[in-house]
């Protein structure tokens, strides 16, 4: 567990907290960036800027080496078997869209197809499957959840059939922070020969990821939620499956040979990475990864759990409080409502105290509709948050409630 002093030192690495009045509890939307990440990006543009995979000059070689080093480090971080199983995209959303595009190309039109998602998916892990299902006349099935947002695994076992081609599910839900029971779900899916995509957007900087142990077929996440820059996404896919994928975009950097009549495409990972990548973003992502490895995901998880427990405890005493994050298998997210108060109103009042929380439906409208609520207030913690901040938040909330009630 981190000591108070350690957290203070870590916090100093984030320039945004020079603003002493800021309390940032919106880490599930995006995390803040440490100096290491910002400096690496600046250094790259100041001293080494060049394109990758093209030039023989030393700058081009350096950029290419860094890009591949980042790929190798991501491979280690999630324990992928091969480095070419790591594909750079511009975000988790693009990663999911890439998989949906390629899968739709592989599906035979005469196949009877089923795709399964859960009721509490982020729109990024819902709409691509909805569109694919409409285009391919597929059946989009939905695993129900209970009033606390937990998956109904019994129902999942009834939904899956031999026609199920893919199950796409979040590792940790962005609404309530629940860690879904993936292992048994993946085992069941594979018995039916279905592929499994895990949306790791809310898991990657909070729990240890081992894709080989999970045995998922795809795992996707964004760098900006793990202390890295925006505009970088990671797509992990098992090599034997990605090998079958057609190119998603076409252009430079993904070919073996081109004539006016025909193109022979490169192998993995380049086949799926057309055009100049976000090199600075990939270098920044590598630094974010170093940051996470250095402070250890295991220690971060324990610390965030402590913050979460403290916050749940202190908030539970408030009259009219309804905490949705009740599951015992939580990460860093606390979602709540207070009776008869709209989340936007409270969010705005908290903002007057310099507190950044997320309010609304969190890009997950179906689960909000199911719970018959028009949103929640979501606190999401990161390594630099403190118990003192939660105390200030609590006092500001009480003052805000006083204002709302008069
Ligand atoms: N899935 C989940 C669970 C998320 O929380 C988010 C981001 N809020 C996304 C997907 C999409 O991530 P991005 O916008 O970085 O592509």
Going from the Cα of 225 to the center of ligand 1, the distance in angstroms, rounded, reads: 9
Which single residue is written with the structure tokens 């995979």?
A: 53
**Residue bearing the CA closest to ligand 1, atom 6:** 201
Going from the Cα of 147 to the center of ligand 1, the distance in angstroms, rounded, reads: 23
* 266 lies in the same domain as 313: no
CATH at 148 = 3.40.640.10
* 313 lies in the same domain as 189: no
Tens-digit pLDDT profile for residues 278-317:
999 999 999 999 999 999 999 999 999 999 999 999 999 9
Pocket probe mutation, ligand 1, options 124, 232, 366, max atoms within 8 Å of Cβ: 124
Euclidean distance between CA atoms 279 and 178, whole angstroms: 33
Query: 251, 274, 293 — which closes off a domain?
Result: 293
The boundaries of the domain holding residue 323 are 4-29+296-404
Q: Tell me the catalytic residues.
A: 363
* 364 lies in the same domain as 256: no
- On the question of pLDDT at 185 being above 70, the answer is yes
**Residue bearing the CA closest to ligand 1, atom 5:** 174
Please classify residue 199 by burial: count the beta carbons closer than 10 Å to its beta carbon, then call 0-12 exposed, 13-18 middle and 19+ buried.
buried
Atom of ligand 1 nearest to the CA of 92: 16
Which single residue is written with the structure tokens 């916090």?
A: 11
SS3 252: coil
The structural domain count of the chain equals 2
CB 75 within 8 A of CB 83: yes
* 276 lies in the same domain as 339: no
**Residue bearing the CA closest to ligand 1, atom 8:** 29
| Residues in contact with 369: Cβ distance below 8 Å, sequence separation at least 6, in sequence order | none
* 360 lies in the same domain as 383: yes
Tens-digit pLDDT profile for residues 318-337:
999 999 988 789 999 999 99
Please classify residue 92 by burial: count the beta carbons closer than 10 Å to its beta carbon, then call 0-12 exposed, 13-18 middle and 19+ buried.
buried
Query: 293, 322, 338 — which closes off a domain?
Result: 293
CB 219 within 8 A of CB 198: yes
Pocket probe mutation, ligand 1, options 28, 122, 126, max atoms within 8 Å of Cβ: 122
Which residues have any ligand 1 atom within 6 Å of their CB? 91-93, 122, 124-125, 170, 174, 199, 201-202, 222, 224, 363
Which pLDDT belongs to residue 326? 81
Tens-digit pLDDT profile for residues 11-38:
999 999 999 999 999 999 999 999 999 9
CATH at 395 = 3.90.1150.10
Tens-digit pLDDT profile for residues 248-289:
999 999 999 999 999 999 999 999 999 999 999 999 999 999
* 216 lies in the same domain as 341: no
């Amino acid at each position: 567990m981190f000591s108070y002093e350690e957290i203070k030192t870590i916090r100093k690495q984030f320039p945004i907290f020079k603003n002493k009045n800021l309390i940032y509890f919106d880490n599930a939307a995006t995390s803040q960036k440490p100096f290491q990440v910002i400096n690496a990006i600046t250094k790259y543009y100041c001293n080494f800027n060049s394109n990758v995979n093209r030039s023989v000059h030393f700058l081009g070689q350096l950029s290419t080496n860094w890009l591949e080093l980042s790929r190798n480090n991501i491979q280690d971080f999630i324990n992928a078997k091969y480095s070419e199983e790591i594909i750079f995209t511009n975000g988790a959303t693009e990663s999911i869209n890439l998989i949906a595009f390629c899968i739709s190309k592989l599906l035979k039109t005469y196949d009877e197809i089923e795709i399964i998602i859960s009721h509490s998916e982020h729109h990024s892990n819902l709409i691509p499957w909805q569109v694919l299902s409409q285009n391919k006349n597929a059946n989009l099935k939905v695993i129900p959840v209970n009033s606390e947002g937990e998956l109904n695994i019994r129902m999942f076992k009834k939904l899956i059939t031999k026609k199920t081609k893919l199950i796409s599910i979040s590792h940790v839900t962005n609404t309530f922070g629940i860690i879904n029971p993936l292992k048994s779900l993946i085992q069941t899916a594979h018995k039916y020969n279905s592929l499994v995509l895990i949306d790791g957007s809310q898991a990657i900087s909070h729990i240890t990821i081992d894709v080989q142990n999970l045995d998922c077929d795809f795992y996707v996440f964004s760098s900006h939620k793990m202390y890295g820059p925006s505009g970088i996404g990671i797509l992990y896919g098992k090599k034997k499956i990605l090998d079958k994928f057609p190119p998603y975009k076409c252009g430079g950097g993904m070919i073996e040979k081109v004539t006016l009549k025909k193109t022979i495409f490169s192998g993995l990972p380049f086949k799926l990475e057309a055009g100049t990548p976000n090199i600075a973003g990939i270098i920044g992502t590598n630094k974010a990864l170093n940051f996470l490895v250095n402070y250890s995901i295991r220690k971060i998880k324990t610390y965030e759990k402590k913050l979460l427990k403290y916050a749940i405890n202190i908030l539970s005493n408030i009259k009219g409080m309804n905490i949705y994050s009740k599951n015992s298998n939580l990460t860093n997210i606390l979602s709540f409502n207070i009776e008869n108060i709209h989340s936007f109103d409270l969010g705005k009042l908290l903002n007057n105290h310099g507190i950044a929380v997320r309010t609304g439906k969190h890009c997950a409208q179906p689960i909000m509709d199911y719970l018959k609520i028009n949103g929640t207030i979501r606190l999401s913690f990161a390594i630099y948050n403190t118990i003192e901040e939660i105390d200030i938040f609590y006092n500001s909330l009480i003052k805000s409630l006083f204002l709302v009630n008069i």
